[in-house]
Amino acid sequence: MKKIILAALVIVFGVAVYAATAGIKEDIADKVARNFKNNGVKNPNVEVKVIKKLEKSDVYLVKLKITGDNLKKELEQHVLSDGNYIYPEAIDMVSGKKILETYKTEISKVNFTAEELEKMVFTKGTKGAENIIVVADDFECPYCRKAHFFMNDILKNIPEENYAFYVLNYPLRMHKSSKVFARIHYAAAEMGYDLMDEIFRYVGKGDYKNLNDEDIIDYFAKKTENEKQFKKIVASKEAAENLEWNINKGKSLNISGTPAIFVNGKRIDGFNRQKISEYLNQIK
């Protein structure tokens, strides 16, 4: 008899939860659709997926999919709502974690395969390490330069066997010399040189802006023991194809600006000191 009662309670509780979830989905869908209609969207349709209910509250984390006759594309957004209001964020008062930001970080994780990492430039650390750092860089981007030296300072205190650091060369169109710097970086790595610090410092001085590509290549070729071989790699078909792959990979990740930093798959867009420090210090 006791087991039967317990089973009945479980069924009733399950029905109640389902009803509450269905109710919140209908409320949010209806109100968001009305909001979009009031803002000129024709025949808005809103799909709501409940991700979870926040503990000890009536607030839900939900995913919205919104379409309309005059919307150019389907809109997707994760929000927090109680069915009446949308909240920009919720902070756990004990841990201090931002609920929405933390969830977005988890679902946006990127897993790079071993084959993909081999097509990037391994810069420092230990290949095969448990922790993987990937940075999409443009050598002419001032924020990439700042992020690079900021990360250097943190990584000095982390044993190199604990991480593997890779660069995804991602030159932006607005920077006319960024592709040649990417090829210089690739060629140096192929010959066993790490010229990242030197390239960033060189670009930071700005003297290269009055030079052509050949002059820039000559400058860095002199830093190697085999200038002819260095120049050959820079001009090679392999370097061009590798750079093309890097650019296409960046596009597939929807990288629109640099730097884009991935620490064990967790993404940081831009030079965000707080997040960079937090994520890197987690791998110690």
Q: For the segment 63-82, what is each residue's pLDDT rounded down to a tens digit?
A: 999 999 999 889 988 899 99
Dist CA 64 CA 104 (whole Å) = 14
Distance from the first to the final alpha carbon of the chain: 55
User: What CATH superfamily is the domain 114-281?
Assistant: Glutaredoxin (3.40.30.10)
Give me the percent of the chain exceeding a pLDDT of 70.
93
Provide the whole-model pTM.
Answer: 0.71
Q: Answer whether the bond into residue 142 is a cis peptide, omega within 30°.
A: no
Residues of the chain above pLDDT 90, percent = 77
Ranges of each domain in the chain: 2-107, 114-281
CA distance 178 to 145: 13
Q: What's the half-sphere exposure (Cβ side, CA atoms, 13 Å) at 13?
A: 6
* pLDDT interval class at 10 (50, 70, 90): very low
Nearest CA among 160, 172, 98, 171 for reference residue 130: 160
Tokens of 180: 């040649």
* Tokens 């919307």, located at residue: 71
Distance of alpha carbon 7 from alpha carbon 31, whole angstroms: 36
154 Cβ contact partners less than 8 Å away, ≥ 6 residues apart: 276, 277, 280, 281
